[in-house]
Structure 1
C-alpha cells in the first residue's frame, strides 16, 4: 500500500503569497472541497478553482478547517493533541445514527426488534465474531464457524478459537455496558479475545513488553505505522479510559458516537498488544456505544463492511497521521460504516420476514403434513417459523401437548430426520434448534410430496 503524501505546510505557503492571491485564497475558503472532507493526497488530483494553484487551494481548505478543529485529550506519540472537526457530513451522519440506532426500530411485521431479540442478536453476534476475526487472519469458513457457535462446541484450531473468543467477548461487554472501563478491564477483554490464539500464550491480557510491533503492509512490505513506545502504554491506557468514561457534558464536548469511534482509533494507533489490537478496538467501540444508549449496535456488525474494504480502513488512519492529527478522516469513515451497518440490518429484517411468510405458506400447503406429521409437530414447526432463535427440549414439548416423554421425544427426532430440526447434546439431554436452511428444506419437501 502506498503511503499518502503529506500536505504542504500552511505557514510556508502563506509566506509566499502576494496580497491579491491571499485574498483569492480566503474568498475560496471551504473545509469541504467538492463537498467532501478530502485529504491533500486526494485533493491534489482535482482541478482547483479558477485563479488558484493546487497548493493555494489546499491552503484555503486548511485555513477553513483550522477554525473548526478542536484539540482532544488524546495525544500522539510526540505528545501533540489529536484534533477533531465536525463539518456538515459528520453532523448529517450523527443525525441519522441518533435517529436509527438509539430510538425504537421495528421489524417489517411491526413488532419491535426487542420482542424478537434472540432471533436477531444471535445472527449479529455470529456475523461480527466471524468477520472481526477474519480481518485479523482467521481462515475458518463461515459455515463451519457458524455451526460451532450455534452448537456451542469448543474450537478445534486457532482460527476457530479467534472466532469463538470474539463471540464470548461480544456477549461479555453486554454485562459491562453500565460499568466504567478501566485498564484492568481492557486487559481482561484482550485476554478473553486472544486466549489460545497467540504465539506466546503469556501475551494474552498483557500489554507488549518491547517496541517490536509495527503496522506493515504484508503484501508490499511498507511500514505504515510505528506505535508509541511500550514504556508509555500504561499511562496512555489510563488516559484513554479517562476519556472513555468522561461525562457527556465534559469539555470539549465529544458526541457519544464519535467518542466510541475515537476509542477504536486510539487502540489501533497505540497498538498496546502483541496481537489482537483490532479485535480489542472494535469490542471497546461496541462497549462505548452500548454504554451511551445506542442499544441497536448489538444487532449490527461493522466488521463485515471493514472486511470488504480494508484499504480504506487503513487509509483513514494514515490520513489522520499525515495531516496534523486530524481524526475527522477516521471519524467520517467509521460513521459511514455504522450507517451502512444499520441499512444492512433493515434489509436483513425485511428479507427474513419475507422468508418467514413464504415458509409459513409452504408449510400450510405441503403435502407431507397430511401423511408424515402429526398435529403436535405442525404446531411446533409453526412456532419455529415465528421464533427462529428458540431452542426446543423434549420435556417442554411433552408438557405443552400433555403426552408421555417417549411420544414427545419421537416427535422431535422425526423432525430432525426430516432435516427440519438440528439436535445438540447439552449435558445429558438433547436440545433441538431450527435447521439453518429450514425455509429451503420445507420448500424441497413440499415439491417432493406435491
Structure 2
C-alpha cells in the first residue's frame, strides 16, 4: 500500500476570506462547499482539485481545514499526548446513520428484512462469516469453504489459522450472549483471551496488556513502520479512560451517535494497541458488542469484516488519514459507515436470494411430508449432489438439539432420498442416486 503524503502546514499569512473570494471568481465556490459536505477528501484529492481549478493547493487545503475546524467537534479521550481528536458529521454521515436507525434497531424494519422463523439459522451463518473474514484480515490462511466446514462440523482446528477462526467464532457467540455485560478492562481482557487462545507465541500474553514498547504497526507489504503505539506504561490509564468513554462516564459537550461511537471504539483499540497481538480482531468485535448493547440487533446478522476484507488498503488508509491529519476521526468513521452500509445491502440480497430459494423448494416439495429444515437440506443437494451431512453439522447449522437433527436426517433416509454411511464411528448422510426423481415423483 502506498503511504499517503502528510498534510501540509497552513502557510504563513493565510487569509481564509481571500481564498473564498478566489474560489468565487473561479466559479468553484459552490463546488468547494458541496465537496466538503458530501465527501471527506484527504489532502491528496484536494491537491488534484486545486491543480484542476488553478488555485494554490496549500491555500485550498487551508480553507478546508478552517471549515472543518468550525464544523467538527473536539473529543478528548485522555490527557496522554495524542488523544485529542476531532469528528465531523457532514451530510453523508447523517444519511448513513439515518438508514441504520431505520434498519438495524427496533422490530418493524428488522422483521421485514429477516423472516422471524429463519433468524436462528441466519444468525449462525452470519457469525461464522464474520469470524472467518475477521481472521482472514489478520492473516488466517484458509478458504471460506474449509473454515465453514470446520465450524459446522465442530471439527478440531488443524492449524493456527483454523484456531484463529474458531476463536473468532467463539468470541462472536460470547458477545451475543453477553451483550448486557459491561465493557470493562476485565471483560476486554476476557474477550481477547477468547480471540487469541492457542494462537500467540506466549500463552501468558492471552488476555494480558503488553508489557514493553517493542511494538510497531507496519505496512504488511513493505515492512515500513507506519505508526508507533503509546508506551506500555500508559496502557492502564488509557484503557480505563477508554472504558469511561465507552460506558458514558465521560461527559461530552455534544451528541455522539452510538454507531459513530462504536466505530470510534474500533479505532481506539487499534490506536492504543493494548495487546501484543489480536488488537484488530478485538477492535472489530468490540464494535459489534457496543452496537448490540445499544439495540442495533441486526448487526449480528451482518459481516462488516467481509466488506473490509475486500478493501484492506482503504481500511489501512482510513487509519492513516486520521493519524496524519490532526487525529480527524471523520475519515475512519466515513469508511466504516460505508462498509456497514454495504454489509447491510449484502444481507438484504442474501435474504432475498435465500427466501426465493426456500419458496422454490417449498413449492416443489409442498405435497411432501418434509419439514422446513429437511427442505433446505434437499435444496442444497439439488444444487450439489456431492455434499453430505452429519448430525453435528445439522445441529449447529439450525441451532437445534442433537436428537432433532438426528430425526431430520433419519427421516430423509426413511423417505428413501438419503442413505446413511458409516465413516469410522460417525454417520454421514448423503443423497441416493436419482434422489431428485424420487422427490418429484
Distance 1:101 1:121 in 2: 14
1:59-70 equivalences in 2 (<5 Å): 59-70=62-73
1:359 aligns with 2:361: yes
Distance 2:366 2:305 in 1: 39
1:381 aligns with 2:374: yes
The residue number in structure 2 matching 1:9 is 9
Distance 1:103 1:258 in 2: 18
Distance 2:62 2:406 in 1: 72
The residue number in structure 1 matching 2:200 is 198
Distance 2:6 2:339 in 1: 25
- Output the TM-score relative to the length of structure 2: 0.83
- 1:346-395 CA deviation, whole Å, 9 max, x = no partner? 00000101111222344469xxxxxxxxx766787348679972546557
Distance 2:201 2:64 in 1: 46
1:44-443 equivalences in 2 (<5 Å): 44-47=47-50, 52-75=55-78, 78-104=81-107, 113-246=115-248, 250-363=252-365, 381-382=374-375, 389=398, 391=400, 411=411, 413=413, 418=418
Contact 2:258 2:291 in 1 (8 A): yes
Per-residue deviation, 1:75: 4.5
Residues 1:389 and 1:416: Cα distance change in structure 2 (over 3 Å): farther
More moved, 46-55 vs 385-394: 385-394
Per-residue deviation, 1:253: 1.9
Per-residue deviation, 1:210: 1.1
Per-residue deviation, 1:79: 3.9
Contact 2:78 2:241 in 1 (8 A): no
Contact 1:267 1:280 in 2 (8 A): yes
Contact 1:31 1:62 in 2 (8 A): no
Distance 2:337 2:377 in 1: 36
Contact 2:87 2:329 in 1 (8 A): yes
Per-residue deviation, 1:336: 0.3
1:12-51 equivalences in 2 (<5 Å): 12-13=11-12, 15-16=13-14, 20-21=18-19, 23-24=21-22, 28=29, 30=33, 32-33=35-36, 35-47=38-50
Contact 2:104 2:110 in 1 (8 A): no
- 1:170-209 CA deviation, whole Å, 9 max, x = no partner? 0111232122210111010000000101111111100111
Distance 1:293 1:78 in 2: 34
Per-residue deviation, 1:447: 6.1
Residues 1:73 and 1:385: Cα distance change in structure 2 (over 3 Å): farther
Q: For 2:92, what is the secondary structure of its paired residue?
A: helix
- 1:64-85 CA deviation, whole Å, 9 max, x = no partner? 1110121113259624511111
- 1:275-300 CA deviation, whole Å, 9 max, x = no partner? 11110001100010001110000001
Structure 2: which 5+ residue stretches go unaligned? 380-393
Q: How many residues matched?
A: 419
The residue number in structure 2 matching 1:369 is none
Distance 2:110 2:253 in 1: 38
- 1:50-108 CA deviation, whole Å, 9 max, x = no partner? 56322221111111111012111325962451111111111111111111111336689
Residues 1:383 and 1:46: Cα distance change in structure 2 (over 3 Å): closer
Q: For 1:44, what is the secondary structure of its paired residue?
A: helix
Distance 2:375 2:136 in 1: 36
Distance 1:235 1:20 in 2: 45
Residues 1:239 and 1:444: Cα distance change in structure 2 (over 3 Å): farther
Distance 1:335 1:444 in 2: 48
Residues 1:63 and 1:378: Cα distance change in structure 2 (over 3 Å): closer
1:445 aligns with 2:438: no
Per-residue deviation, 1:40: 0.4
Structure 1: which 5+ residue stretches go unaligned? 366-374, 399-407, 436-440
Residues 1:297 and 1:385: Cα distance change in structure 2 (over 3 Å): farther
Q: For 2:75, what is the secondary structure of its paired residue?
A: strand
Residues 1:251 and 1:115: Cα distance change in structure 2 (over 3 Å): farther
Per-residue deviation, 1:429: 9.9
Per-residue deviation, 1:34: 8.7
Distance 1:92 1:59 in 2: 27
Residues 1:396 and 1:326: Cα distance change in structure 2 (over 3 Å): closer
